[in-house]
Each structure stands twice: as C-alpha cells, then as structure tokens.
C-alpha cells in the first residue's frame, strides 16, 4: 500500500515564516552615486593659495556629481559656489580667529540631516608647520538619505598637515578622535569617510591602518586599483598612470574610505583622478591637490516589520504534528 509523504509541520511553518519575511519586508532600495573630494587650496595667492584666482573656474566643474566634499574653502567662498547647482549644501563656516572656518563644505543631490562640525583635539603650528592652528580644522559629518529609508553617514575631513614630530602627533590624535566619534555616532551604520587625510599607508608615523582597522573600513583606491591589497610601509607608491598626474597605482593623500552595514551594501565601482578636467587652458592644475572621484553602488537590505517578524517567529515555533 502506498503512503502519501507529508512534509513535517515545523518545516512547513518555517518555510512559510521565511516567505512572509521576504514578501512583506518591503522593496529594497538600490542605485548608484558619484562622489567627489577636492581640496581647493582656498588661501589668498599671497599665501600660496589657488582659490583667489581659480575658485571661480572650479565652481562649474563641481556640478554633475551626486555628492561633493570640499576642503580648504577658507576664503573666496562666493566664487567657489557662484555656478553650482545643488539643492542641498552646507553654509560657509566662519569660526576661528581669522573667520576662515574649518574650510569644509558639502553639496548633494540628496537631503541630509544631523549635520555636525567637529574640530580636532590637537593642532601644531600657528605661523609655522602649515599654520594648522590658525583655522579650526577638523571633520564634519551628516546622515545622508540616498533615497527614502536608505541612510549613509558621510564624513568630510581635513587632517593636520606636515611631517615634523609635532605634526605627526597632532594628526594621530585627530584621527584617533575621528575613530572614537564614529564608533558612537555611526554605530551599526554604513559610512563614507573622504577628504584630505594628509596621510599615506607607506609613511612611518601615519596611522591610516589603525583607522581602517578601528572602523572596519575599506579603501576605494585599494579595492579598485590594488585588488584589495594595502601597500606596505616604505617607499611611496608613485606609479602614476591616470591623467599623467595622479591615479592608477599612485597613493595620494586624498582618499575615500567606506564601510557597509547589515542594512546597506556599499560597493565602489570606479575610481578616477580627473586632474586634466580640473586644470586651466594651459594645463595647469586649479589646485595643489588633484580631485578624486568614486562611483558607488548601494543596495539596502530591508528588515521585516516587528509585527510580521513576530508572526514569523510564532509560526516557526509551532510543534510538529504527531503521526
């Protein structure tokens, strides 16, 4: 006599619970965005800056990116923003003894909130060693909404400059401050940290490896041009192939570091240093830094509602039928 095979009730309920969680969790958000980080050298020409002459030329070049993170917007802010077309941007910071502020501004095609400016705990040099103490340098952070319900914590930073012992000590203190801040503010969140790090993986005295490990970060340059292999300490990585100035396998101090989360997958797709685009008609760069551009893909992983999750758990706990 043939018997009809039956699936145990617990298996049936577990499968139903999983199906409910998938069907009712809601659609996952996905897309791409292109981000630019750029130090515009925004000091007067008499102090070796580029912004006095070039900010007005930089301004229209900033359009066309989804996210722009600027450092050294110390002076000539009106020139820098004269031709931009962004629905969301931060105001010019005017704090500090010179009124130049921290020099950090951001522009975005998507909204952001919870914006904060955080000065470094230490600096070295007022009229020497890059005069870092003349401005309240530090980092800014905001929670960006890539689309409804899809959030990314974005940091813009400008680290202590210089290579004397006092510079290294101040830079180390600031980057450790950044790590401790992000551990709290961005706990469990996807993050993007970009800007002028004034640091190299290859240089003794810099602690980028410590930052990467402390926040479980990846580096877009390392991932896309070095196959995920960080350079060792020692000689600088200067095999420049892109635009003849920077990029390729070069390590430059302007960087994009990032981290995904349980609810948001973040993946770099392209890394570019469009130095030629940010140059004048004679081919002279508009700043003493090259721009860095990275395109990211994102994919949110939605969670089921508490009610549906409770239903799924209850179904999974139903005991098997006796046969």
Q: Are residues 316 and 255 in the same domain?
A: no
Q: Judging by DSSP bridges, how do beta strands 292-300 and 30-39 pair with one another?
A: antiparallel
Predicted confidence (pLDDT) per residue in 10-45, tens digit: 445 545 544 444 444 455 689 999 999 999 998 887
Rounded to 5°, the CA angle 272-278-281 comes to: 135
Q: How far apart are CA 120 and CA 186, in angstroms?
A: 18
Gap between the Cα atoms of 154 and 141, Å rounded = 6
Mark whether 169 and 313 lie in a shared domain: no
Angstrom distance (rounded) from CA 149 to CA 142: 15
Q: What is the pLDDT of residues 109-123, one digit of tens each?
A: 999 999 999 999 999
Mean pLDDT to the nearest integer, 293-318: 75
Q: Are 156 and 74 part of one and the same domain?
A: yes
Q: Beta strands 218-219 and 150-158: pairing type?
A: unpaired
State how far the alpha carbon of 32 is from the alpha carbons of 186, 267, 269, 298, in Å.
21, 9, 9, 6
Higher pLDDT pick, 305 / 268: 268
* Domain count within the chain: 2
| Better-predicted residue by pLDDT, 317 or 234 | 234
Residue 170 sits in the same domain as residue 54: yes
**By residue range, what is the domain housing residue 321?**
1-25+306-323
Q: Do residues 195 and 214 both lie within one domain?
A: yes
pLDDT for residue 45: 78
User: Is 279 found in the same domain as 233?
Assistant: yes
Whether the full predicted model's pTM is greater than 0.75, yes or no, is yes
Q: Which residue has the tokens 């070049």?
A: 61
Instruction: Looking at the structure, tell me whether residues 235 and 294 fall in a common domain.
Output: yes
Residue 74 token pair: 């110390």
């Amino acid at each position: 006599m043939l018997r009809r095979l039956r699936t145990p009730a617990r298996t049936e309920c577990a499968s139903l619970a999983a199906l409910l969680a998938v069907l009712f969790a809601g659609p996952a958000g996905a897309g791409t965005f292109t981000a630019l980080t750029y130090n515009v050298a925004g000091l007067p020409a008499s102090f070796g800056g580029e912004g006095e002459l070039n900010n007005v030329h930089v301004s229209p070049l900033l359009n066309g990116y989804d996210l722009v993170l600027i450092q050294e917007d110390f002076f000539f802010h009106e020139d820098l923003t004269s031709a931009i077309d962004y629905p969301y941007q931060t105001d010019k910071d005017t704090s500090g003894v010179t009124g130049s502020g921290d020099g950090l501004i951001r522009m975005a095609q998507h909204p952001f909130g919870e914006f904060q400016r955080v000065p470094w705990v230490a600096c070295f040099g007022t009229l020497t060693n890059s005069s870092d103490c003349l401005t309240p340098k530090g980092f800014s952070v905001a929670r960006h909404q890539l689309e409804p319900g899809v959030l990314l914590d974005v940091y813009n930073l400008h680290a202590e400059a210089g290579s004397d012992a006092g510079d290294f000590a101040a830079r180390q203190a600031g980057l450790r401050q950044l790590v401790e801040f992000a551990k709290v503010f961005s706990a469990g969140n996807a993050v993007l940290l970009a800007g002028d790090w004034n640091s190299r993986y290859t240089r003794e005295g810099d602690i980028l490896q410590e930052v990467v490990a402390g926040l479980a970060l990846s580096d877009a340059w390392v991932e896309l041009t070095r196959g995920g292999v960080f350079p060792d300490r020692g000689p600088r990585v200067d095999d420049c192939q892109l635009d003849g100035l920077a990029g390729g396998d070069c390590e430059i101090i302007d960087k994009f570091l990032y981290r995904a989360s349980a609810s948001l997958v973040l993946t770099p797709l392209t890394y570019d240093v469009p130095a030629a685009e940010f140059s004048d008609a004679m081919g002279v760069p508009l700043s003493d830094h090259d721009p860095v551009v990275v395109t990211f893909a994102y994919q949110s992983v939605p969670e089921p509602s508490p009610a549906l999750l409770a239903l799924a758990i209850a179904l999974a706990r139903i005991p098997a039928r006796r046969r």
